[in-house]
């Protein structure tokens, strides 16, 4: 009888191993086959993957159970190495690692169906809110929806801090309409191949970069391509991909968000036609499965996709390109908590391919490695054709506020907008609405709640339920009483995109505004439809959140306005400045990309902030130097690694108890061997977001080095923690170098 080692689904990491099973007489199943096996006392059938031989634990063969059914073999030997790599590196189980390498749908999987919510009858909702004003949860949910018009259920539950069941209850009452939001079609399906674009001749800088990269196509190395916005990085990619294909290789181009970047998908489609495959979570499961097969068979030679495309079944030695490599979407926030950059680097090193990271605002980690000779470094310093950078006008919101203008469109921006309308040129207005913001006014005495230190209007952030001063960072809990008159009725009024649109209509009657904000644009318009209409000049203004900052290239946009540049500046994340810099640089880079000169108006409460200044000048290097000095003195990445542990429990005290116990374990362990494990702990802290389901989350941050012995130590600590009885109801997770610090 032959026995095999099976990775079994649903095993906690502490019990994770390859379980030994027998294959029935006459059944053959190569390593990499998917199977079902009987598991546990009840012998329930569970899913698994054969990953090799099981370590013999002395169970006599007659006691071993037999594999119930054998499916297809999906995993190559490279995939098997990758699985070992993932498990070692990201503290996940064998099955979780294996699952990444299998085409979706093999195990039924979770086809993502995005639900969106809206209020069908605003009058009814308002009446309900009045009658049920004591039910905060219901009122919050309806309030958000009235404000936003339409949100995905995910966004809504996050913003209102409620569980999905609250939304469902309201839907049952007919107050909320739930609809299946548009699932992205395969953007290429049934689409005629566009005309082949005219052949591009690379300029000198581009040629130098491309040639050096081409000579490293078989090196197993990683390179960073640092190129200012508009320098033509995409043309370098295409040149490189062409050469890879010439050498019989496959290529994977990763982008942060597929729906925002249809332009590049279209460009590649025009180039590669049917040899192009697209992989992202918006495709139906069947479509993804088909694309997976086309890639593995080699029929599809070029793959464009999001984070998970890093696992595409391309042959060994392929070319990987990660565009906008600093984007947080490349890091998975569910187990395995992998970073596409690390996985891709591992794959190309193993198979002797090439990994190209590209950005105008690289992550500090990558730029540090590139400038210290650890990875290759190419630069594009000029915008193509030497187009000038857009001129940036800084508008001081403090002045606006003091002169009584509480509109979200300040004077400067208003004037520039007027010019654009008169000239028939287009404008993009950007609003960073991360954590919904609003002003607070007392309905009795009509005063606005202001910061006691700066006198600036404070804003309410629903994601952490705090009232914050955007200027000095002072914050306080949710307010229900007016400080000047003691009145009990405070009005929280939004400055979301919907408010901004109303404001535009009021200031410029007849202005044609298209708004793009919810996670998925439902109803009549698809996102692509909106963008096409905007390009066809059916609108004067495109107004939206983060999603409009990237990759869009509209020739007639000559003005970009940032309604509030500070929103992401004052958060507890040590990367807050880096993220803000990147965001603003990209936004400003949107203006004037074609032959017309562009300008940007940035409204801010902190006009003197260095992050803003360097981003307006698109001076990454100066910003990098200043910020790195800070990171060095405070010891933050890339000068160390940061491991985030989360403790999820029913009560706050339980979560704290667990976090404290764990910190104590770490201290003990490191005291024994301070040389090898020089760790610094940052004390546990309750995170801002109450988790869905009413559980509390506490985190412990640990500064360490992401080396094999330290990962082993962490892995041992996790096992030790999980094996204790008192921790039975606590969930602990570990995340090395998370992109979002809780
Ligand atoms: P990036 O991605 O670096 O911001 P793009 O690749 O989008 O820049 O290029 C910016 C603009 O310049 C695009 O319109 C692109 O077609 C044009 N461009 C860049 N390089 C060339 C070239 N060598 N020949 C013709 N056009 C180019
Ligand atoms: Zn203040």
Residue nearest to atom 24 of ligand 1 (CA): 200
Q: Does residue 132 sit within a domain? A: yes
Residues 606 and 671 in one domain: no
Residues 490 and 513 in one domain: no
Residue nearest to atom 20 of ligand 1 (CA): 232
- H or E element that contains 692: none
Provide long-range contacts, Cβ within 8 A and 24+ apart, for 454-460.
Answer: 456/398, 456/401, 456/605, 457/401, 457/406, 459/495, 460/492
From the CA of 384, which ligand is nearest?
1
List C-alpha distances in Å: 124 to 146, 174, 175, 579: 11, 9, 7, 41
CA proximity to 685, closest of 662, 655, 705, 726:
655
Residues 123 and 168 in one domain: yes
From the CA of 476, which ligand is nearest?
2
Residues 427 and 439 in one domain: no
* Residue found by looking up tokens 């001749």 in the block: 201
For residue 149, what are its two tokens? 């018009």
**Which of residues 101, 135, 159 is at a domain's end?**
101
Phi then psi for residue 38, to 5 deg, are: -75, 135
List C-alpha distances in Å: 501 to 43, 320, 400, 506, 568: 59, 41, 19, 9, 22
Residue nearest to atom 18 of ligand 1 (CA): 232
Q: Which of 230, 260, 593 to mutate to test the pocket of ligand 1 (most atoms within 8 A of CB)?
A: 230
List C-alpha distances in Å: 369 to 205, 214, 372, 392, 629: 22, 20, 5, 31, 16
Q: Does residue 258 sit within a domain? A: yes
CA proximity to 583, closest of 615, 630, 626, 543:
615
From the CA of 361, which ligand is nearest?
1
Q: What angle separates helix 77-90 from helix 94-101, to the nearest 10 degrees? A: 130
Q: Ligand 2 centre from 286 Cα, in Å?
A: 53
Q: What is the pLDDT of residue 524?
A: 41
For the CA of 234, the nearest atom of ligand 1: 6
Q: Ligand 2 centre from 453 Cα, in Å?
A: 5
Q: Ligand 1 centre from 360 Cα, in Å?
A: 13
Q: Ligand 2 centre from 144 Cα, in Å?
A: 26
Q: Ligand 1 centre from 618 Cα, in Å?
A: 17
Residue nearest to atom 5 of ligand 1 (CA): 232
From the CA of 593, which ligand is nearest?
1
CA proximity to 662, closest of 709, 614, 727:
727
From the CA of 386, which ligand is nearest?
1
For the CA of 231, the nearest atom of ligand 1: 3
Q: Ligand 1 centre from 593 Cα, in Å?
A: 9
Whether 42 and 4 have beta carbons less than 8 Å apart is answered as no
* Residue found by looking up tokens 């913003």 in the block: 159
**Residue 230's CATH number:** 3.40.50.300
Q: Does residue 191 sit within a domain? A: no
Residue nearest to atom 10 of ligand 1 (CA): 230
From the CA of 606, which ligand is nearest?
2
Q: Does residue 621 sit within a domain? A: yes
Q: Ligand 1 centre from 554 Cα, in Å?
A: 13
Q: Does residue 502 sit within a domain? A: no
Residue nearest to atom 2 of ligand 1 (CA): 233
Q: Ligand 2 centre from 497 Cα, in Å?
A: 24
CA proximity to 555, closest of 594, 598, 600:
594
Residues 140 and 263 in one domain: no
Alpha carbon distance 329, 286 (integer Å)? 24
Residues 609 and 649 in one domain: no
For the CA of 203, the nearest atom of ligand 1: 23
Q: Does residue 222 sit within a domain? A: yes
Whether 426 and 554 have beta carbons less than 8 Å apart is answered as yes
Q: What angle separates helix 708-723 from helix 77-90, to the nearest 10 degrees? A: 70
Q: Ligand 1 centre from 235 Cα, in Å?
A: 6
Q: Ligand 1 centre from 615 Cα, in Å?
A: 21
Whether 458 and 473 have beta carbons less than 8 Å apart is answered as no
CA proximity to 338, closest of 710, 736, 742, 741:
736
- Based on the number of CB atoms within 10 Å of its own CB, is 581 exposed (0-12), middle (13-18) or buried (19 or more)? buried
Residue nearest to atom 4 of ligand 1 (CA): 230
**Residue 664's CATH number:** 3.30.70.360
Residues 624 and 666 in one domain: no
For the CA of 236, the nearest atom of ligand 1: 6
Residue nearest to atom 17 of ligand 1 (CA): 232
From the CA of 470, which ligand is nearest?
2
Q: Which of 322, 384, 590 to mutate to test the pocket of ligand 1 (most atoms within 8 A of CB)?
A: 384
Strands (E), 403-480: 426-430, 437-442, 459-461, 466-468, 475-477
**Sequence-distant (≥ 6) Cβ neighbours of residue 454 within 8 angstroms:** 469, 471, 472, 474
Whether 499 and 517 have beta carbons less than 8 Å apart is answered as no
Q: Ligand 1 centre from 589 Cα, in Å?
A: 13
Residues 401 and 376 in one domain: no
For the CA of 202, the nearest atom of ligand 1: 23
Q: Does residue 106 sit within a domain? A: no
Residues 620 and 566 in one domain: yes
Domain count, the chain: 6
Secondary structure in 3-state letters for 363-423: CHHHHHHHHCCCCEEEEECCCHHHCCCCEEEEEEHHHHHHCCCCCCCCHHHHHHHHHHHHH
Cis amide linkage into residue 497, ω under 30° from 0: no
Whether 404 and 457 have beta carbons less than 8 Å apart is answered as no
**Residue 14's CATH number:** 3.40.1440.60
For the CA of 229, the nearest atom of ligand 1: 4
For the CA of 323, the nearest atom of ligand 1: 2
Q: Which of 204, 234, 323 to mutate to test the pocket of ligand 1 (most atoms within 8 A of CB)?
A: 234
Q: Ligand 1 centre from 513 Cα, in Å?
A: 28
From the CA of 550, which ligand is nearest?
1
Residues 75 and 27 in one domain: yes
**Which of residues 380, 402, 423 is at a domain's end?**
380
Within 10 Å of residue 477's Cβ, how many Cβ atoms?
9
Q: Does residue 429 sit within a domain? A: yes
3-state DSSP assignment of residue 451:
coil
Residues 661 and 699 in one domain: yes
Cα-Cα-Cα-Cα dihedral sign, residues 500, 573, 591, 551: negative
CA proximity to 727, closest of 12, 7, 10:
12
Strands (E), 258-311: 276-279, 302-305
Q: Ligand 1 centre from 645 Cα, in Å?
A: 43
List C-alpha distances in Å: 392 to 47, 208, 421, 568, 602: 57, 31, 19, 19, 7
Pocket of ligand 1 (CB under 6 A): 200-203, 206, 227, 229-235, 384, 553
- Based on the number of CB atoms within 10 Å of its own CB, is 715 exposed (0-12), middle (13-18) or buried (19 or more)? middle
Residues 229 and 366 in one domain: yes
From the CA of 453, which ligand is nearest?
2
Q: Please, what's the b/e burial string for 342-367 (b: 16 or more CB within 10 A of its CB; e: otherwise)?
A: bbbbbbbeebebbbbbbbbbbbbbbb
Ranges of the chain whose pLDDT falls below 50? 108-113, 182-185, 434-436, 518-525, 690, 692
| Parent domain of 491 | 435-495
Residue nearest to atom 19 of ligand 1 (CA): 232
**Which of residues 607, 630, 653 is at a domain's end?**
630
Q: What is the pLDDT of residue 546?
A: 67
CA proximity to 279, closest of 247, 263, 302, 298:
302
HSE-up (13 A, CA, CB side) for residue 7: 21
Alpha carbon distance 49, 10 (integer Å)? 12
Chain centre distance of CA 690? 20
Q: What angle separates helix 164-172 from helix 153-160, to the nearest 10 degrees? A: 110
Q: Which of 209, 235, 242 to mutate to test the pocket of ligand 1 (most atoms within 8 A of CB)?
A: 235
Whether 722 and 13 have beta carbons less than 8 Å apart is answered as yes
Q: Ligand 2 centre from 470 Cα, in Å?
A: 7
Cis amide linkage into residue 298, ω under 30° from 0: no
CA proximity to 652, closest of 733, 567, 730, 736:
730
Q: Ligand 2 centre from 409 Cα, in Å?
A: 22
Q: Which of 232, 590, 592 to mutate to test the pocket of ligand 1 (most atoms within 8 A of CB)?
A: 232
Q: Ligand 2 centre from 499 Cα, in Å?
A: 24
């Amino acid at each position: 009888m032959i026995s095999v080692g099976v990775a079994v689904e649903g095993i906690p990491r502490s019990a994770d191993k390859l379980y030994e099973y027998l294959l029935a007489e006459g059944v053959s199943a190569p390593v990499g086959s998917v199977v079902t096996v009987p598991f546990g006392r009840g012998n329930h059938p569970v899913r698994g993957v054969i990953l090799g031989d099981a370590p013999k634990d002395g169970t006599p063969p007659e006691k071993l159970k037999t594999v119930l059914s054998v499916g297809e073999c999906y995993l190559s030997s490279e995939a098997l190495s990758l699985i070992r790599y993932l498990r070692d590196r990201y503290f996940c189980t064998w099955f979780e690692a294996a699952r990444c390498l299998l085409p979706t749908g093999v195990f039924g999987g979770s086809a993502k169906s995005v639900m969106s919510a809206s209020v069908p009858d605003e009058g009814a909702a308002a009446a309900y809110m009045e009658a049920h004003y004591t039910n905060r949860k219901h009122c919050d949910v309806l309030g958000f929806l009235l404000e936003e018009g339409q949100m995905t259920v995910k966004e809504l539950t996050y913003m209102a801090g409620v569980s999905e069941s609250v939304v469902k209850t309201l839907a049952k009452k007919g107050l909320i309409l739930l609809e299946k939001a548009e699932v992205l079609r395969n953007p290429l399906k049934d689409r005629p191949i566009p005309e082949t674009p005219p052949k591009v001749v690379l300029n000198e800088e581009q040629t130098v970069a491309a040639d050096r990269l081409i000579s490293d196509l078989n090196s197993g190395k990683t390179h960073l391509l640092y190129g200012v916005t508009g320098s033509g990085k995409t043309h370098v990619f295409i040149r490189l991909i062409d050469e890879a294909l010439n050498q019989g290789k496959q290529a994977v181009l990763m982008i942060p968000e597929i729906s925002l970047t249809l332009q590049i998908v279209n460009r590649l489609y025009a180039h590669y036609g049917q040899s192009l495959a697209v992989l992202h979570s918006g495709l139906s499961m069947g479509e993804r499965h088909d694309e997976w097969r086309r890639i593995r068979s080699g029929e599809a030679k070029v793959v464009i996709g999001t984070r998970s495309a890093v696992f595409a079944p391309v042959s060994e030695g392929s070319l990987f390109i990660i565009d906008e490599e600093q984007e947080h979407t490349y890091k998975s926030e569910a187990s395995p908590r992998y970073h596409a950059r690390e996985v891709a680097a591992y794959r190309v090193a193993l198979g002797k391919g090439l990994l190209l990271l590209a950005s105008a605002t690289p992550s500090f980690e990558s730029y540090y490695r590139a400038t210290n000779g650890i990875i290759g470094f190419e630069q594009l310093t000029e915008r193509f054709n030497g187009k000038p950078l857009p001129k940036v006008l800084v508008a001081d919101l403090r002045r606006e506020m003091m002169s009584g203008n509480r509109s979200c469109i300040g004077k400067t921006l208003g004037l520039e907008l007027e010019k654009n309308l008169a000239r028939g040129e287009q404008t993009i207005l950007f609003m960073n609405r991360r954590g919904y913001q609003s002003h607070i006014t007392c309905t009795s005495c009509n005063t606005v709640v202001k910061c006691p230190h700066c006198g600036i209007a404070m804003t309410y952030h629903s994601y952490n339920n705090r009232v914050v001063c955007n200027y000095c960072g002072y914050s306080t809990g949710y307010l229900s009483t007016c400080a000047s008159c003691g009145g009990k009725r405070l009005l929280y009024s939004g400055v979301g995109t919907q408010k901004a649109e109303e404001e535009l209509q009021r200031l410029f009657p007849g202005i044609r505004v298209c708004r793009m904000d919810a996670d998925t644009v439902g109803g009549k318009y698809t996102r692509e439809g909106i963008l096409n209409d905007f390009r066809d000049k059916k609108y004067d203004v495109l107004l939206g959140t983060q999603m409009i900052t990237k990759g869009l290239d509209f020739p007639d946009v000559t003005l970009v306005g940032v309604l509030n540049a500070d929103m992401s500046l004052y958060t507890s994340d040590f990367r807050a400045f880096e993220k803000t810099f990147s965001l603003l640089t990209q936004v400003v880079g949107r203006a004037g990309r074609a032959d017309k000169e562009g300008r940007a108006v940035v409204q801010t409460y902190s006009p003197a902030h260095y992050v803003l200044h360097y981003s307006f000048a698109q001076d990454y290097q100066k910003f990098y130097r200043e910020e790195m000095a800070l990171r060095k003195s405070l010891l933050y990445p890339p000068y160390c690694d940061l491991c985030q542990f989360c403790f999820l429990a029913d009560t706050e005290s339980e979560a704290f108890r667990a976090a404290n116990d764990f910190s104590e374990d770490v201290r003990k362990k490191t005291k024994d061997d301070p040389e090898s494990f020089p760790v610094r702990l940052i004390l546990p802290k309750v995170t801002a977001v109450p988790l869905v389901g009413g559980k509390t989350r506490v985190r412990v941050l640990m500064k360490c080095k992401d080396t094999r012995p330290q990962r082993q130590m962490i892995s041992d600590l996790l096992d030790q923690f999980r094996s204790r009885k008192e921790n039975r109801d606590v969930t602990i997770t570990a995340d090395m170098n998370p992109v979002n610090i809780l």
